[in-house]
Structures are given as C-alpha cells and as structure tokens.
Amino acid sequence: MTEQKKNTPVLDKRSSRRTFIKNSGLTVGGVVLGGALGSLLLKDGKTTTNETNVHSSTAPSNPNVALMYFTPEQYRITEAASERIFPKDENGPGAKELLVAYYIDHQLSGAWGMGSKEYTSGPFFPGEDTQGYQGRQNRQQIFEIGLKGIQDHSLKTYDKSFIELSEDEQDAILTEFADGNVELKGVSSAHFFGVLRTATIEGAYADPLYGGNANMEGWKMKNFPGHQMSFLDIIEKEFTKIEPMALNSQHKH
Amino acid sequence: MVTKLPKVDVVTIGVGWSAGIIAAELTKQGKKVVGLERGKERKTEDYFMAHDELRYAVRHEMMQDLSKETITFRNNDKMRSLPMRSYGSFLLGVGVGGSGAHWNGQNFRFLPYDFELRSKTIEKYGLDKIPADMTIQDWGITYDEIEPYYDQYEKMAGISGEDNPLGGRRSNPFPTPAMKKTEAMRLFDEATKKMGYHPYVQPSANLSENYTNPDGISRVACQYCGFCERFGCEYGAKAEPGVTVLPVAKATGNFEVRPHSEVRRILYSNGKATGVLYTDLTTGEEFEQSADVVVLSGYVFTNVRLLLLSGIGRPYDPTTGTGVIGKNYAYQIRKGRATGFFDDHKFNNFAGAGGLGMIIDDFNGDNFDHTDLDFIHGGMIILGQTGQRPIANNQVPSGTKSWGKDFKDASLKYTNASLTVSGEGASMAYKQHFLDLDPTYNDAFGDPLVRITFDFEEQDRQLTKYLAEKCEGILKEMGANHVDVSGDLGPYNVAEYQSTHNTGGVIMGADPETSAVNNYSQMWDVENLFVVGASSFPQNAGYNPTGTVGALSYRAAEGILKYMEKGGSLI
C-alpha cells in the first residue's frame, strides 16, 4: 500500500491554487482579503519547500482532498486553527498533516453541518447553561460566523490575517475565542470554539474513511488499534501494542 | 382516513426488550401479537461496519431522530422549558430491538432493599431520615417475589457473572461464568480486597462463552472488541432482543413486527383500551389496530407521553402531589468518581466489553450504616473496561489546558495509563421531579413533547461526594500516581452525557392512589393496558436498569396470560 503518501495531494492542491491565483490575475475586492491571499502565497512558498523534503512527489493523488463546503479562505483558517488545537509535536503529526480541515469540510457539507437530526423548530429563547445549545444557527452557519470572527479579530489585533500570525499570536486569538471574550453575532465565540475543538479531535481520530486521521497516524500516536475482530488473546494482558486497521480492511475483506 | 385492521390478541407499542420478552412468552402460548415499532428492522449482519466510533457513538446512528421528536427540559417550574436540540445527558433508542440493540450489556439485579426502600429506611432510621419532599415508595413487590423472573430473564440472555457477596439470594447460579479479568480489573480486585471490601466481576450480557438458552437459541462468546455501547454487536454475542426473544416469537408464526409504524394514541373507551392509532411513516397512512390487550413498552418517555396524549390515567399534579402519570421521574447520580493517572503502568484500555468490570457494593443500598450520613441509599462502585475509543477518551490531569500542545501530549500519554473508578448512585424521587406535556414545543406531527422537570438535590450532592472519596481511596490503593476527584455535583445539565437510566413516570406500587400500575405492570385504571419498562420504577437503584426491566417483563407476560384467561384485575 502506498496510502501513507496521502499528504502529497495537499501540496498539489496548494500548487494549483497558487498557479490559479497567479494566472487568473484574480483581483480581490477589499484590503482585508487581498492581504490574506497575498501572504498566503508567501507562506505557501515556505511550507512547500519543507513538505517537498518530507513527501515523495510520485505518490498517487488522494481524491478525497478537495473541498465540499468551505471557501478556500475558510479552509485555510480552519487548517491553521485546528493545527494549534492539535499541533504537530514529538508525538507525531498535527491536525494539518492528519487532514483534519478536510474532515471538517466534509462533515460540514452533510447532516452534521446542517443539524439534520437535531431539533431545530422554534420558538427560540436564550436558555440556561443547563439547557444546552438553543441558538438558531446550524454548524455551517456557526463556522461561517466563527471563522470570519477569527479573521476579523486577527486583523483588528495584529493587522494581519490569522494564517500569517505566529503560533503564539494564533494561540492568543484562539484563547480569546475559547474564553468567550470575542463578540460574534448569532453565536458565542466559546460555543464556536467548542465545536471547532470537538471537530478537530474527531478529525484526528475518526476512521480514515471520513477524510481525516490520514494514514491512521492519529491512531498510531494514540496506540488505538482501530477496527479489530477480536482482542481475546490480549484482554487479560498488560498493554500490548497492535498495528491499527481501518474499516477499509473489513470492506475489502 | 383511518384504516381499521382486524383485531389481534395483543399489540405492543415499541419492539425492544419488554415487548420482545412479552411477545416471545405470549406467542409460545398461541397468542397473536403485533409489534409496532417506529424505527427500522435490524439484523446482526447490519453491523458489518460497526467499529466506527464517529458514526455510532458520536453521531448516534442508532438513536431517535431528534428533529422529529425530542424532550424539553427545565431544572424547576420557575424556569422556561426548552427543547433538548441535540443529544447530551442521555440517548433515546429507536428501531427494532430498541435501546436493547445498542446497550452495553451491564446487567444487574437490584438489591432486596431497593424493592422496600421506604419501609426499610423508616424501620431502621425512622421517618425523619426521609426529607419531606422525597416521595420514595416501596414497589409493591419484594426481592423474593421478583427473584424467579430475574432467573428466567438471566437464563434467556445467558448472563455471565459470579456471586455478588452483598447481593440478594439467587435460586440458581449464573447461566455462564464471569467474563475475563483485565489487568486494570485485577488491580481493582486486589486493592479493594486489601481495603476489606467485597469485589466481584460485573454481571454481563456480553457472554463469556458460547451458550444455548432454554429457548434453543445459540450465541457465540464475546470477542472483547470494545464496541458495545451505542453499537450493534456484529457477532450476536451481546444479548439483545434481535438475537434472543424476537426470533423465538417469530418462529411461532404468531408474531408480526411492523417497522416504521409510529403509535400516536392509545384508543380507550368504557375503562378499557381498545387498540392503538398509528401512522405508517413510509406512506403517511393512518391505521387503527384493535387488540384485546395493549402493551405500552416504550421504556420511560414514550410510556408517559402516550398516556398523557391519550388522556389515560390521572396526570400527576406537583402542587398537590396527587395523580400518578408523570410522577417520580428519577435518574442516576454518576458524578461521584475519580480518575487515576499512572506513570509506569499501562493497560489495554482500547479493548473491552460493554459489561466488563469489577464492582463493590459495600456502599450501595443499605449495605453500610447511614445513621451519621446526610443521605440514604448509595451506589455501586465500578471499574469498567468498556473499551476506550479515541474521540471520546482524552483524559488529562486537572490543570491541563483542554487544547494545544500540552493537551495533545498529556492525552496521548495517559490514553492507556489512566483508569476511572466511578460510583453509580441511586436516584431518589422528589415531589418536584416529574414528567408532563410541554405547553410550547411539538413533535413532527404537532403533538406536544414530553417535558422533564428535574434537578439534583442535597441528597445527591452528599452521595456524590461520599462515593467520589471512596473512588479516590481505591485508585490510590491501586497505585495511581495522581488522582483527580470529581465530587462536586452542580445543577443537572441536560447537555452533558451522564446516563441513559431515566426512570419513573408510570410507577409500580401496592396502592392505586399512589401508583399507576400493579406489580404485573397492569394499569390500575385500565385492566387490559400493561405499561412495561423502567417507567414503573418508583425511584432508581444504584445499578443499571435493564436486568430489572427484563424481570418485570417476564412477570408482565405471566400477568397478561392470566388476564386473558380470567379477565379483571390481577390483584
């Protein structure tokens, strides 16, 4: 299997976007977006070099790496923010390499994004903390509001796009959101951050069939064996390391 | 336009454990039973892709669609009730097999004390021990009277276990031996024995060895795959209606399940139920199914809601304390717990079974002296190994940030190096805790949702603190390097998962004035209507409810057969 090279398509994607933006001569209305996209080009230049060293360019492309819901800018902010929530470290890859932002994008496009199995009838009243979420917004709308909030707050505080900020600056912005200190219209910043945090962890550890947990790297770090038929032979033993398997192995069985 | 269907002997509302047991027993005796289930049919092969935490555990694949029907909640009658918009505190089952299809398989008998809670408490501690607003009651049945039904249920399900040194008398040993002991369970066993407690391996419906039950149903042993709660079992090892009682009922040729059939009303005239009105959800057509006996077997919320919507029984009035439908809603007190972090001991936390663990009952029921305590009853203390899946289980020591580098590092480090010991506290009934119909919010048909009015009380706070301290002591004895204790019980929060052990609302008792059903689950007011489920618990014990629901279902089946022979009230 060569599926461990799954990250390469991210690179392809970036390259093609860069090319697209350059070739199309896309002019972006407004200083805010222009600044964001301009710096994005610069930043990509750097990371591309790093990632080229890590990944072979001969791997097949992963067709799962494409957007179902996010705009490119929403994707970028989500990728950067989720990486701060679940960063790359000595344990292994972070959200970015695990393709968590693609996982979130794909989830947002479906039932979870639209709250299809949730009670969304009115009337709406602000509830007590013990009564759970009572807002009008579904998760698609919560992300739209929240991601724009992150970008606006970054520009206001640092005069830079969120993805251009240093890690410490990004953490400072996200902490403000987590603590509920940022005023958003329609949803609290703490609620948005909570959804983003939960979705990031899901993207790191859900079966790879959902687009995240690339190459089962999330499970490998966590020593979670994924889909196994039986633990009868180890259930009475001390910790035993087992190579993970995804549901794909069962489906192709 | 309502289409009238030919009359049958018995119609059940819902097809889970209760209806399945009753259908099996009645159809064996030649009775014609129709089961109406609003969800879909399911079978073991459907769980081929079941090891999917996101789909089943996180996105609630097997649960009721809340967009169609949910509950509303308020902590007290001063608060505006609001809908539970997404899942939190508990999960609502749907589909053939009901919650029995995706339960953990943690299977218990309640203690003898539980069935005579009020009288035994007064006998030992005096009436003053019971707060004025606490409305606990005896069940109108004793442990010795219900024991044969526990026995019958356990043989059908093949419950695996070993004797509880502090439990009630057993007429027979467990049908299958106890489940295997994991490293964590061994530590708990040693520590609690050293502390003078009485540990035992948790009784389990997961099946420790291949088993053939008295109905001739054979099932294979559990593989400890770690995907039980919220999942269907792809081996059929976990006892559930679909691999036990439903095939038995179907084999008689006397049982018909109609999925996608949502009962909207119980039809009632001249003091008797005449049948039910239901909607075929696939076509929208309405049908009237008449029957000699109606079995309302929707666990708790559906039972209370359908009685209230149908105008059957006397609704509970919390201001006067009169009436019975909706009375004594209770829950489970699950926050008395502690988590231990181990620096040099790792476990196979990813492996497990829904009903796998070690328990002590030294602080359950009245197994310890309450004279100097500000609460009654108690709870089991359990170290469970249900299989820790990675999205849900990210334990970090207190003081660790909930995201970022430190969180990632600690959550990875302790994934297989932390253990939780928790109390499963009993939940007492109070005058101000009840179920009724919401005045504002409706289901997809426009019928009112059921409303919960519930909060934790001082009894629950004291109990939580007490159990948490015991859990902490055990983890220290087990050798944990750092123990975090969760002993502070805030207000009840419907958004935070705690337990699906909701109980009460159509309670059982010896007195028609203060209870809705007799000990055959037969309604006092409507002799051919049997309301079966945890709705009949007058208050909740310090154990999971399914074993007792199963026992009550066998007793109800016996009662229905008796009633069909002779008619009238059974008591």
| Domain spans of chain A, in order of start | 64-222
What is the predicted pLDDT for the residue at A28?
A: 39
Give the residue-averaged pLDDT of B272-297.
98
| Confidence bin at B507 (pLDDT 50/70/90) | very high
Which residues of B are the active-site residues? 501
Q: How many residues does chain A have?
A: 253
Give the residue-averaged pLDDT of B457-484.
98
Look up tokens 């660790």; give the residue. Answer: B400
The answer to whether A234 contacts B348, with C-beta atoms less than 8 Å apart, is yes
Give the residue-averaged pLDDT of A25-29.
38
Which residue, B189, B157, B148, B152, is CA-closest to B176? B157
Out of B59, B85, B346, closest to residue A239 by CB: B346
Q: What distance separates the 2 farthest-apart alpha carbons in chain A? A: 64
A86 to chain B, any CB pair closer than 8 A? The answer is: yes
Ordered domains of chain B (ranges, CATH): 2-566 (3.50.50.60)
Percent of chain B residues topping a pLDDT of 90: 98
- The residues in A 197-236 lying below 8 A from B, measured between CB atoms, are 197, 200-202, 204-207, 209-210, 218-219, 221-232, 234-236
Give the residue-averaged pLDDT of B533-538.
98
Out of A130, A133, A171, closest to residue B491 by CB: A130
Round to whole Å and give the CA distance between A6 and A9. 7
Give the residue-averaged pLDDT of A128-141.
97
Chain A residues with CB-CB distance to B223 below 8 A: 229-232
Round to whole Å and give the CA distance between B482 and A83. 29
Using one digit for the tens of pLDDT, what is the confidence trace for B163-178?
999 999 999 999 999 9
Percent of chain A residues topping a pLDDT of 70: 76
Using one digit for the tens of pLDDT, what is the confidence trace for A48-87?
333 333 444 456 789 999 999 999 999 999 999 999 999 9
Q: How many alpha carbons lie under 13 Å from residue B555 in its C-beta half-sphere?
A: 28
Burial environment of residue A166 by CB neighbours within 10 A (0 to 12, 13 to 18, 19 or more):
exposed
The answer to whether A231 contacts B404, with C-beta atoms less than 8 Å apart, is no
Using one digit for the tens of pLDDT, what is the confidence trace for B254-278?
999 999 999 999 999 999 999 999 9
| Confidence bin at A30 (pLDDT 50/70/90) | very low
Q: pLDDT at residue B569 above 70?
A: yes
The answer to whether A89 contacts B408, with C-beta atoms less than 8 Å apart, is yes
- Under a CB-based contact definition with an 8 Å cutoff, are residues B503 and B270 in contact? no
Q: pLDDT at residue A40 above 70?
A: no
Q: pLDDT at residue B494 above 90?
A: yes
Q: pLDDT at residue A230 above 70?
A: yes
Q: pLDDT at residue A253 above 60?
A: no
Distance to chain A for B154, nearest Cα, Å: 24
A180, A182, A186, A192: CA torsion to nearest 10: -50
The answer to whether A238 contacts B65, with C-beta atoms less than 8 Å apart, is no
Q: pLDDT at residue B233 above 60?
A: yes
What is the predicted pLDDT for the residue at A79?
A: 98
Round to whole Å and give the CA distance between B154 and B151. 5
Residue in A119, A198, A250 to test binding to B, most B beta-carbons within 10 Å:
A119
Out of A117, A206, A240, closest to residue B54 by CB: A206
Give the residue-averaged pLDDT of A172-190.
97
State which amino acid sits at residue A86.
F
| Confidence bin at A38 (pLDDT 50/70/90) | very low
* B224 dihedral zone (left: phi>0; alpha: psi -120 to 50; beta): left
The answer to whether A205 contacts B83, with C-beta atoms less than 8 Å apart, is no
Distance to chain B for A204, nearest Cα, Å: 8
Q: Rounded mean pLDDT of chain B?
A: 97
| CA-based nearest residue in chain B for residue A125 | B82
Give the residue-averaged pLDDT of B489-516.
97
Q: pLDDT at residue B188 above 90?
A: yes
What is the predicted pLDDT for the residue at A25?
A: 38
A250 to chain B, any CB pair closer than 8 A? The answer is: yes
Q: pLDDT at residue A26 above 50?
A: no
Comparing A14-18, A177-181, B253-257, B336-340, the range with the smallest average pLDDT is A14-18
Q: pLDDT at residue A22 above 70?
A: no
What is the predicted pLDDT for the residue at B568?
A: 87
Structure tokens at B130: 């019971």
Q: How many alpha carbons lie under 13 Å from residue B101 in its C-beta half-sphere?
A: 31
Q: pLDDT at residue B445 above 50?
A: yes
Q: pLDDT at residue B112 above 50?
A: yes
The 8-class DSSP code of residue B55 comes to: I
Q: pLDDT at residue A199 above 60?
A: yes
Using one digit for the tens of pLDDT, what is the confidence trace for B69-106?
999 999 999 999 999 999 999 999 999 999 999 999 99
What is the predicted pLDDT for the residue at A58?
A: 55
The answer to whether A247 contacts B52, with C-beta atoms less than 8 Å apart, is yes
Q: pLDDT at residue B505 above 70?
A: yes
What is the predicted pLDDT for the residue at B487?
A: 81
Looking at B79-196, list the stretches that DSSP marks H as alpha helix, in order from N- to C-terminal side. 112-115, 117-125, 143-157, 183-194
Chain A residues with CB-CB distance to B49 below 8 A: 247, 250-251
What is the predicted pLDDT for the residue at A250?
A: 87
Using one digit for the tens of pLDDT, what is the confidence trace for B387-407?
999 999 999 999 999 999 999
| Confidence bin at A251 (pLDDT 50/70/90) | confident
> DSSP letters along B451-497, please?
EEE----HHHHHHHHHHHHHHHHHHHHTT-SEEEEE----S--TTS-
Q: pLDDT at residue B180 above 70?
A: yes
Give the residue-averaged pLDDT of A98-114.
98
Distance to chain B for A228, nearest Cα, Å: 7
Out of A174, A231, A250, closest to residue B226 by CB: A231
